[in-house]
Every structure is written in structure tokens, then in C-alpha cells.
Structure 1
Amino acid sequence: MLITDAELPDGRVRDVRAEDGRIADIAENLHSLPNEESVDATGLTLLPGAIDVHVHFREPGHEQKETWATGSRSAAAGGVTTVVDQPNTSPPTVDRERFDQKEAFAKNSLVNYGINGGVNADWKPDELLECPLFALGEVFLADSTGDMGIDAERFEAALAHAGEAAVPVTVHAEDADRFDESALEGNTGGTGRDADADCWSQYRTAEAEIAAVEDACEVARGAGANLHIAHTSTPEAVDIASDAGVSCEVTPHHLLLSRDDLDDLGTFGRMNPPLRTEGRRQALYERVADGTVDMIATDHAPHTVTEKETDLESAPSGVPGVETMLPLLLQEVREERLTLDRVCELVSEGPAERFGLDRKGRVVEGYDADLTLVDLDETEEIEGEALHSKCGWSPFEGREAVFPEITVVGGAVVYDGRAGDRFTAGLGENVRRNQ
């Protein structure tokens, strides 16, 4: 494949050739070879494909919400070329049999993928850790999430096993003992977008996250474990992780939405951790902009509209986001709140470096040809029904965003927005089998 006249993030205009799945040449005036696919990128900016280390593609068990086929199409249309799926599917990914089952579904993916193993009362550490896991996680700390929550003793054991196997541990850090049950007693009722969803933010307190992150970092320090904190929603938690030398991610919804948005979102804004105050959101944004936060990841957690249109306590937690992450961040670049270099660090270079994806995350010769082409002068409003996730809605409805024109995985175009949202057969591979 030859991409001609593309502007790189550093402002240079170059041609880029991909061969055998990798970037072979970056130069001026490269000539097309016989039978070589060519993409005219005049006026477009060429970025490294985004790496989303936190998605829930729901398969197996909840295919009405999402599948690997629909989730990966959504990823590709959003410029995401690698995703990492979490273990709390049904059945959860806690042993080799369930890992193999999930990987069989993942082979339908248009984009590259990793699979996180999980920890619960049924997990088989020796068996699971022999699999090519991306990480052990999302490990739920005393978090009221059904059969995936674990206590401190089991968490320490998981860290020890993972450390011996040189597997990172991704932690969902909320301390359920610090939830404020009285907040739900004040729920004024209502369903869907008319529900009083702010009660959920009052219930799952900021202190519950802050304390859990502090405890997780302390235990990991004692165990010498390789720890990563998922979806940090408070600036205090980010600071604790940073001071401990532990990496963390922030979601687009915690970065761009706050409790002020819950009047419009209702149950569609229920998530774990919940949205925080506008003051905390702004402080979180500052840490994203200044380099304290290591990466952005979506916690893409789709549910159907019908599932969300119920009362607050019955509605499932989570929002979709894999298709809108990069487009929303590029709009932040347009509005001069983030630099393009910083966005590339957050969604490409940062996750690749943190999780040992040595050939991903940069537009450099010898790196994997996982790329996305965008027109930074073209914006469009987000419409949930026009997105490619099976759930058909977005918490960012109506916001301006910069969507990719073309997405390339392994040197092949998998999504072409200029050709009417055309998808081609996926070349997705397990990134841990491909190291």
C-alpha cells in the first residue's frame, strides 16, 4: 500500500509505503509499484492508529448489546486499530477454556485485539496465565459487580501470580464499603432521561475511588506488581497513582462530561465510576493535558436503549465510546485545548509503550502499519444512530467531532469513510500472539 501526500503530526508532508503489514518507507515522491493499492491523502493528516485498552465487546453472553464484529467496526470507524477486551462477559474469562472461547469470537474482529483475563472465585491462575493475555483485569476491587468482585486477600494473591508470570494487572478501583447508601434513598424516581441520575454520583463517592486507588498502589508496591488503574475519574486518584509510579487511564466521558450533564442524560449517564463534579472534571482535564495521565481509554460498555430506559437502580452501568474517542479528542485539538502531539501520546504512543506493544503507536519505519487518516478541517455532529456500535446511542449526542476518513490495519484499508462507510475484511490479530 502507498499513501501519498499525507501530512504527518510533525507537519511534514510525505508518502508512506506499507509492506507485509509494516511501514517500509516514509519519504517524498515515492512511486507506486505495479498492482499496489494507492491512497491519495492530499489534505489529510496521517496519525498512528489509536489503541483502546479498555472495551467491553460483550461476546460471549450479551450479543444483543455488542459483538466482536459490530464493536470492531465501530472501532475502525473511530480510528481505533487495537482494542483490549475485558473479562466480565458471560461466562467470564477466568480460565483457558473461556479464553479460547472468547478468542474464537475475537477472530471476527476488523482490528487488532488483546484479551484480559479475570479474577473471581472460579479463576484458575496457573491455567489462565499460560494464555497470551494482554493483562489480568479488569480486576474489580470490592466493587459491587456481581461475581467479578474480589476481596483484599484474593487481590494480593492475584498480584503475586501475575507478577510471577510477568503479566500486568488492570484494576477497577472502587471501595464498596465507602458507598453512600443514603444517596439512593433520595432518588426522586423517573426513568431513562427523566431519572435523577445524580444520585448515582452521590452513591458511588469520589472517596470510594480515591481510597481504593491508594490501597491498590500500596499492595502493589509491596508485591512489586505491574499495576495499571482503569478509568480514573478523580484528580486525587490520578495524583496518587502518579506519585506511586503506577499508570492510569481516563475515559472520554470523565474527561468531557460531569454531573452537570446528568439532567439531560438520566440513566444514560449511569456508569462506574460515576460522573464527578464539574470542578473535578476540570482538574482531571488539566492532568490529561499536562502529561500526568498516561492514556485515554474508553471503557466502551454498550447497552441497548431499552435496557437503559428504566429506573436508575435497575439500569445497567456503562456507555459506548470506542468510535467517538479519537474524534472528540481531535475536536479538542481544533479548539486548542489539547495539542495533536498530546492526543497521539494519549491514544497511541502511551498505551503502546505502557503495555509493551513495541511496534505500535507511532508513524515510524519498521512499525506496524496501523494508521488513520483524518481531515482536521471537517467536523460533524455525533449521531448515536449513525454510529456502528450495536447499541445505537451515544452520551455525546450532538457534539462536534472529527471522524476519520480512512483506517488502516496491518497495511490494509479496513474502513473508508469517503466510500460511504465501506468496511473490508478484517486483519485483526491477537497482539500478544504477534509479539
Structure 2
Amino acid sequence: MSTLLIKNAKIVNEGKVFEGDILIENDFLKEISSSISAKSSNVKIIDAEGNYVIPGVIDDQVHFREPGLTHKANIESESKAAIAGGITSYIEMPNTNPQTTTIEALNNKFKIASESSYANYSFMFGGTNDNLEEILKVNPKEVAGLKLFLGSSTGNMLVDNPQVLEKIFSSTDMIISVHCEDEATIQSNLEIYKKEFGDDIPIKLHPYIRSEKACYISSSKAIELAKKTGARLHVFHLSTGIETKLFTNKIPLKDKKITSEVCIHHLYFSEEDYETKGTLIKWNPAVKTEKDREELWKALLDGRIDVLATDHAPHTLEEKKQIYTKAPSGGPLVQHALVAMLEAYHKEKISLEKIVEKMCHNPAILFQIEKRGFIREGYFADLVIVNLNKPWTVNKQNILYKCGWSPFEGTAFKSRVTHTILNGHVVYENSKIIPNKLGKRLTFIR
């Protein structure tokens, strides 16, 4: 039996911050109390020294690029970066090669993760215009959910047949997570700017090509269809203020049928940053105006937005530095998401309790993940210790992504992750990865 005791912690959990100790036996949280004494010499003790302990972050949207796109990233490299950033569980997307649109492809990804993942894992099954038969074979108790691209992105998994969409929404009990951008609007906008600039369109025009209108048309249609069919809908990566008005904060999360997510980059950057960051902050949906960013923050804090995630989607620097029409959208974020949000805490934009709610508790509630996302006795011991006053700067030497770059390069953060504990074991300590692949497959209470 392995026993770990965390002493002198400020524990952030379920809307409270309190001082205490945490006893871990094997994979699980055994006891949480104001003071716990080691009962034998075999207990490993971590003195938190008054630093904060939070539940392990659950990231409900990542692209780890395996199989098929492993020159950009793979499950091993990106899960290492995740645990260095305090993310202990992730849900990975289906736009790999081959796409995760068959049971065979899904099982292959589970096999890869079981052998190589440093963090806990699950995958989303991908919907297409012609794979309903495969969708119906998926066991909702074994898979995080279904992902539909209602706007084209990396992997070209666009679902654009209205009859197929309604059939999918009507036929599955799985949570349907959607990327919402109206393709016709995007292509129309793109043609306007291509006529003026050719393929070398200024990056600052990206949010006008993948526009507010494109996002709103698609999001509102998806919500209308969910209401019509009774489907359980989760709208990924909101990027506009107008979309936030489509959601409610009047219902407890566990009872919501329609939920939403915002990503780090849409809260951190605005269109003003294109001048210095260029295509490094080219995402789909696009980073938009400062006003949109303010509205997203407001909706996150008042409960209309339920979950905060990364949409971690790495590409090589060579790929990203191409001209506009060739530069792919997406960027790496898992290593720096939590510290970016702690920077917002330092600026008094959000409380520690709210960060934990949106990044730890709510993903567990929304996806009905078993025994994770909270600091509770009997739950898996997924924990993160953060020092809020230990500054560091992001640079090439400390970036763990396989692609080797970050949109936060050169950024000085006030806080850092000092320890990550996964299933009761220390997997990251003082800037060092402990070389054990201890990630477990997530299970769901459904």
C-alpha cells in the first residue's frame, strides 16, 4: 500500500478555501481533515507550506494528434505537458488520421493511451454525414461523448446535411459536443478577402472571415435543433458576446440540457494581439474583439458559460508561419492554461473558487465523470499544488509541447504548478516529470 500525506495546505474545493491536511492511500483520497498525523514511517509527506491544493483540472477538449498527425504532437508528449500544467484528465477529439468515426478507430486510440498517457483520458467519437450506424454502436458509459463539426476545421469532418444532423440529434443519448461556425458564411467572407488580397490575407481579418455572424448562425441552429429533439447539447469554445445570450444560468448544471464552454485563448487574447502574435493565435473560432472577450468573462462568471477548457491543438511552427490561407488554426495550451487563469485571479477578475468550479468541478458534473473533479474522501486522488507567488517566464527551454512553441512564449506568470498528483502518485514535482505512465481511462456514471 502506498500512502501519501499532504500537510499545511490551503484546500480549494466546492466554493470554499480552508486549511488542512490530505491523506492518500493507493489511488484514493482517504481523509481530509484540519490535522492528520503520519501513522507509520512509510508515509511519504509533502509539506504544502501554505500553498493551495486544488482538484486536478479536467480539460474537456484537446487535440493530441495521435494517430496520424504525430509530427505535431502525440498522446505521450501532450499528456506530459498537461500534467506539468495541472491537467490530470483530458477528453481528446476525433479529427485524427484515421478519424475516430468507427469503433475500430476508437478502440485503437484507447489502446494507444493505455500504453502512453501520463494523464487520465477519454475520447470523443466523431460524427459525419454518413456514420450514424457506427454512432449507434457506441456505449455512452464508456465514451465521453459525440463530437460534431458544424464548421470545417483541421481534419475536414464537416457535418452539413440538415437531415443527417436531425437524425443524429434524435438517435443518441450521448452528450453531443459541437463546433459551431456556419460554413456558407465563412466561405462567402473568405472569397471577398481573397479577391482583394489573394491567399496572403492579413491575419487581422481572420475574425471577419470566421465572423460573429458565422458563429451565431451555427450556435443558434444547434440549440434550436437540441430543443426540438431533446438532445443533450454542449457548445464548444464560444467566442462572441452575442452567443452568450443563448444560454441560461437559471438552472443547476446537473439539470441543464444545453451547456457551453469557453477556452483560455478567447479569454486571454483579443483582436489587438494579431499585430504581435500573427498566425500563432489563429484559431477556429477566431479570437475576436475586446468587447467579445469582456462578454465571455461576464458569462463565465455569472454561470451562462459552464466550463473552461483549452482546445489544445498544436501545429508545427513551420506550418503556423505560412501565409493566411495555408496556416492551420489551433495552438498548444495545456501546459499554460491553469497559470493563465491564475494570472486573471491576481488581476482580481476571478476567484480561486470559481477557477476550480469551471476547470475541475463542472467538467466532472457535465460529463458525469466517476469520482474525479472534487477533493472528496473516496474519490481518486487527482490533485495539484500551486504556488501563487513563484514567478517564471515561458521560454523554449521549459516548453514541453512536441511542437516546441507556445503563444505565451515570453510571458511572465506569477504562479506555478509545483506538484501534480495523479491517482495517488506524484507525477510532476518542481519542474520535473516523474517518468511513470499512470493515466487511467475515465469512467462515467450514466
TM-score (norm 1): 0.93
1:26-37 map, 5 Å: 26-32=32-38, 33-37=40-44
For 1:160, what is the secondary structure of its paired residue? helix
Work out the CA distance in 1 between the residues paired with 2:426 and 2:81.
Answer: 15
Aligned length: 425
Which residue of 156, 165, 169 corresponds with 1:155? 165
Name the counterpart of 2:7.
4
Amino acid at match of 2:182: D
Deviations 1:147-187 (A, max 9, x none): 41112222222222322xxx111000111111212134444
| TM superposition shift of 1:421 | 1.4
Residue 255 of structure 1 pairs with residue 262 of structure 2: no
Work out the CA distance in 2 between the residues paired with 1:130 and 1:242.
Answer: 26
| TM superposition shift of 1:236 | 1.5
Work out the CA distance in 1 between the residues paired with 2:104 and 2:320.
Answer: 32
| TM superposition shift of 1:270 | 1.3
Segments of structure 2 that go 5 or more residues without pairing to the other structure are 250-255
Work out the CA distance in 1 between the residues paired with 2:155 and 2:63.
Answer: 16
**Contact map agreement 1:73 1:423 (CA 8 A) in 2:** no
Name the counterpart of 2:385.
373
| TM superposition shift of 1:145 | 5.2
Amino acid at match of 1:306: E
Which residue of 318, 321, 325 corresponds with 1:313? 325
Work out the CA distance in 2 between the residues paired with 1:320 and 1:427.
Answer: 22
Going from structure 1 to structure 2, the CA distance change for 1:183 and 1:289 (only over 3 Å counts) comes to farther
Work out the CA distance in 2 between the residues paired with 1:75 and 1:146.
Answer: 23
| TM superposition shift of 1:248 | 0.7
TM-score (norm 2): 0.91
Name the counterpart of 1:334.
346
Deviations 1:344-377 (A, max 9, x none): 0110011111111242222222222110001111
Work out the CA distance in 2 between the residues paired with 1:202 and 1:386.
Answer: 35
| TM superposition shift of 1:142 | 4.4
Segments of structure 1 that go 5 or more residues without pairing to the other structure are none
1:30-429 map, 5 Å: 30-32=36-38, 33-107=40-114, 108-123=116-131, 124-129=134-139, 132-137=142-147, 139-143=148-152, 147-151=156-160, 152-163=162-173, 167-179=174-186, 180-181=189-190, 182-187=192-197, 196-242=202-248, 246-401=258-413, 402-416=415-429, 418=430, 420-429=431-440
Amino acid at match of 1:237: E
Deviations 1:45-100 (A, max 9, x none): 10111000000000000111111110100000000010000000000001111011
Going from structure 1 to structure 2, the CA distance change for 1:17 and 1:122 (only over 3 Å counts) comes to same
Amino acid at match of 2:7: T
Amino acid at match of 1:260: E
| TM superposition shift of 1:127 | 2.7
**Contact map agreement 1:217 1:241 (CA 8 A) in 2:** no
Work out the CA distance in 1 between the residues paired with 2:20 and 2:388.
Answer: 17
Going from structure 1 to structure 2, the CA distance change for 1:129 and 1:198 (only over 3 Å counts) comes to farther
For 1:117, what is the secondary structure of its paired residue? strand
Going from structure 1 to structure 2, the CA distance change for 1:37 and 1:240 (only over 3 Å counts) comes to same
Q: Which runs of 4+ in 1 moved over 6 A?
A: none
